Structure 1
Amino acid sequence: MADVHKATYVYKLIHPSAPPPDPLPESLPLSELDVQSGFIHLSTARQVPGTLKLFYTNEPRMYVLRIPIKAIEKDLRWEAPSVPVSGDGGAESTFPHLYDGKLGSAKVESVVLWEKGEATWDSVLGTEEVISWLLD
């Protein structure tokens, strides 16, 4: 199993009710959760499926931002989540948190919209399009 702390990318899930503007601005508005937490919640490629299923099961679509770790590493911390998640307690049970409060055009490499409709997130995550985009 790869050490998630050596990942090349991290991902930000954006609720469909607040789609990111196109083109991305220099700084995106923070979610209510990110404001309350004092950091921006991110996931590795391996954590995205669990995050989707735990927090966004009933959402028919989700925006996903791909962020190169090199663009944010000075403000990135790996921390245990405040809610229980499945895992073995190893590196994959710590999540990337961005503490500079800004995420936008200079840090985001790519934005996609995943749509599952009435299906499950597993059906979307198993597609070649998603597998080839969601990189470690």
Structure 2
Amino acid sequence: MATLDTQPRYIYKIVPSSSPNQNDGFVHLSMAHQVANTLNIFFKEEPLVYILRIEYGTVISDIRWESPDGKVCGPRPGEGLFPHLYNGLKLGRDEVESIAIWQNEGGWDKALKGAKPWLVY
């Protein structure tokens, strides 16, 4: 988990393939250890997602660490704060280091297991 003395190398944006993202004025992101629960809570029925891997150092000045809204997803103990990108909703080749495509095969376990070398803190 990120603490004041350690920073993640990468943060991740989950983009659904079939439903549009909502525009909150910022980009919701997750750290590697938060991706599984984010998938299981918000993308449970999504057949396919694109995972954008963003090098934290390239966006650090536009990141705010915020807690998840308990009204939306309930308490998520042990997950800590989530990164939110406030840069005018810009996510392009300057921000995105790489992209993975994951399929929901009766749940996200298989995709997450196969992503271990790529999904890193």
RMSD value, Cα? 1.7
Which structure's residues are more often helix, by fraction?
A: 1
Confirm or deny: 8 A CA contact 2:29 2:85 kept in the other structure: yes
Match of 1:107 in 2: 95
Which structure's residues are more often strand, by fraction?
A: 2
Runs of 5+ unmatched residues, structure 2: none
Superposition deviation, residue 131 in structure 1:
0.4
Give per-residue Cα distances to partners, 1:11-34, cap 9 Å, x unaligned. Answer: 00011127xxxxxxxxxxxx542x
Match of 1:135 in 2: 120
The number of aligned residues is 115
Confirm or deny: 8 A CA contact 2:11 2:30 kept in the other structure: yes
Confirm or deny: 8 A CA contact 2:18 2:46 kept in the other structure: no
SS at match of 1:97: strand
User: In structure 2, what is the Cα distance between the partners aligned to 1:41 and 1:7?
Assistant: 16
TM-score scaled to structure 2, two decimals?
0.86
Quickly say closer, same or farther: Cα 1:61–1:85, change in 2 above 3 A. Answer: farther
Runs of 5+ unmatched residues, structure 1: 19-30
Confirm or deny: 8 A CA contact 1:12 1:43 kept in the other structure: yes
Match of 1:17 in 2: 18
